[in-house]
Amino acid sequence: MTKSYTIYTHHAQIRDIEPPVWRRIHVDGNITLRKLRHILQAAFGSTDSHLHDFEIDGRTYAMGDNDNMLDLFAEDPEMLDDRKARLYRFAIRDTDSSIDITLVMTGIMTFK
């Protein structure tokens, strides 16, 4: 049986700065949100010096293995571990992350 792969194309843009700073990224639909964070950091030249979280459809996905993040979200029983959430489970459109990057899905390609 041939395995198929889904690639998502996203437009990632840092919010609230002019002129706009944006990147187009292509990612495997099977990656975790934690890995997506590393891709975004590489795309924007970040040094991995900030905590991060993703908010998707009103649910927060954060660094469940980081004590500082756990303290920050101690009152949020809905916080989910970003290492376990996979990108393909979400239709990410107009989604904001806590690092002030807007991520908009602009395309989907499936390869067999």
Residue type at 6 in one-letter notation: T
For 24, 36, 90, the CA distances from 30, given in Å and listed in that order, are 18, 10, 11
Instruction: Note the pLDDT tens digit of each residue in 10-46.
Output: 888 887 888 998 999 999 888 888 788 888 888 888 7
pLDDT digits (tens, 9 = 90+) for 67-90: 555 555 555 545 555 555 545 444
Give the count of domains, the chain.
Answer: 1
CATH number for position 92: 3.10.290.30
pTM (whole model) above 0.75: no
Q: What is the pLDDT of residue 94?
A: 39
What is d(CA 40, CA 100) in angstroms, rounded to the nearest whole number? 11
